[in-house]
Amino acid sequence: MITGTPKPIEEILEMVEPYDNIIVAGCFGCVTVCRVGGDKEVQVLSSTLRLAREAAGKKIEIREVCLERQCDPEYLEPMRPYIEDYQAVLSIACGAGIQFMAEKFTKTPLLPGINTGFLGVTERQGEWTERCQGCGDCVLHLTGGICPVTRCAKSIFHGPCGGSVQGICEVDKEVKCGWQLIIDRLVSLEQMENYGKLKPYKGWDTSRDGGPRRIIREDMV
Amino acid sequence: MLPCTGRIDESLLLKAFENGADGVMVIGCLEGDCHYVNGNIRARARVERVYNILEQINIGPERIRMYNLSAGEGAKFAAFTNEFVGRVEELGPSPINLARSNGSKESEQEVQAT
């Protein structure tokens, strides 16, 4: 899922300061699962803003909505009839959802209520960790299902570097060396031959280097 | 009255302040004695989150507090309630209620002036 963290309330209050009539928009997708931008978070944030603004003597009217997904056009359309009745939208979807809404409704300022994080997994309730950087050229079949691009701080492709000490990465004592994890897994899977199959150079042309990416499925267009 | 404090979420607590409460007291079962295993533990975490929110927006975090009591502790309930009410009275009206009463006084004055 795409993860995120709430922006500090002071920052959000500063963003909405010029407005007295806004929409707070959540998303039932990833941000609901990681408890940062779903229906409940819309209610909590809206109440918080109303309380803060009323206490400061500058009331704010808020329409609370939560869309099925903010990254699909059909779920944004129901907002079209009323969005221009409001001065701004504070979205607590991921950066993709916020941008897509901004593209569809060009006359209304869009404000981000969260800081979008990474593509990750739920370790346990309240803890998420990164697993994928969307490099566009997956090698997990050769690396025991552990991604060297994400799990190695340097995203290197030729085994542990000199900063790996007893399975721990030099960047942080809490971070395991991605390559040590890969080798340990390959050994346990009896697939160490895969270590030699890795490409000498990884092509990054499928990653972010070429700017914003696009996928076109001709069979679906 | 809710069957379990585990049903309480942050928005319900904040709504109480929006609806004019000067303080909110949450009373759950004794820790380790929840019929739904950990409803009161979850409630405590949510109350703490609201405590932090109230602190950030200058409403006053001490306006919310959670107590744990068994259904047989009537005297203790009364003592805790009196303690909390006393504390909220010392704090006075919440900034929301102050803003509302100032607003209504201003509008009364406007009506009298016209």
How do residues A66-111 score in pLDDT, each as one tens digit? 999 999 999 999 999 999 999 999 999 999 999 999 999 999 999 9
Q: Are residues A150 and A102 in the same domain?
A: no
Q: Are residues A11 and A109 in the same domain?
A: yes
Q: Please indicate, yes or no, if residue A52 is contained in any of the structural domains.
A: yes
Tell me which residue range forms the domain holding A16: 2-118
Cα–Cα dist A66/A26, whole Å: 4
Q: Please indicate, yes or no, if residue A177 is contained in any of the structural domains.
A: yes
Q: Are residues A34 and A72 in the same domain?
A: yes
A24, A43, A45, A51: best mutation site toward chain B, by most B Cβ within 10 Å? A51
Q: Are residues A106 and A159 in the same domain?
A: no
Q: Are residues A163 and A110 in the same domain?
A: no
Q: What stretches in chain B show pLDDT beneath 50?
A: none
Q: Please indicate, yes or no, if residue A128 is contained in any of the structural domains.
A: no
| A·B CB contacts under 8 A | 49
Which tokens in the block code for residue A15?
């963003």
Determine the 3-state secondary structure of A105 from DSSP.
coil
Chain A residues contacting B via beta carbons under 8 Å? 8-10, 13, 40, 43-44, 47-48, 50-52, 54-57
Chain A CB contacts of B14 under 8 Å are 43-44, 47-48, 51
Containing A46, the helix (H) or strand (E) segment is: helix A39-55
Q: Which of A40, A47, A55 sits opposite B58 (nearest CB)?
A: A55
Domain containing residue A17: CATH number? 3.40.50.2300
Q: Please indicate, yes or no, if residue A125 is contained in any of the structural domains.
A: no
Q: Are residues A74 and A157 in the same domain?
A: no
Give how far the C-alpha of residue B70 lies from the chain's centroid of Cα atoms, to the nearest Å: 20
| pLDDT at residue B114 in the model | 63
Amino acid (one-letter) located at A69 = R
Q: What are the per-10-residue average pLDDT scores of chain A (221 residues)?
A: 97 98 98 97 98 96 98 97 98 98 97 98 95 94 96 93 96 96 97 86 83 93 90
Q: Hey, which residues does A32 pair with through a beta bridge?
A: none
Domain boundaries in chain B?
A: 5-113
Taking the CB of residue A78, how many other CB atoms lie within 10 A of it? 12
- Are the beta carbons of B102 and A57 separated by less than 8 Å? yes
Containing A107, the helix (H) or strand (E) segment is: none
Specify whether the CB–CB gap between B88 and B23 falls below 8 A.
Answer: yes
Q: Length of chain B in residues, anyone?
A: 114
- Residue partners of A2: CB distance under 8 A and separation at least 6: A29, A30, A31, A34, A94, A96, A116, A117, A118, A119
Q: Which of B9, B18, B103 sits opposite A51 (nearest CB)?
A: B18
Of A159, A65, A151, A156, nearest to A113 (Cα)? Answer: A65
Q: Are strands A114-124 and A127-132 parallel, antiparallel or unpaired?
A: antiparallel
| pLDDT at residue B20 in the model | 96
- The count of structural domains within chain A is 2
Cα–Cα dist A36/A92, whole Å: 7
**Distance, in angstroms, between B71 CA and closest chain A CA?**
30
Whole-complex ipTM: 0.90
- Are the beta carbons of B11 and A55 separated by less than 8 Å? no
Q: Please indicate, yes or no, if residue A220 is contained in any of the structural domains.
A: no
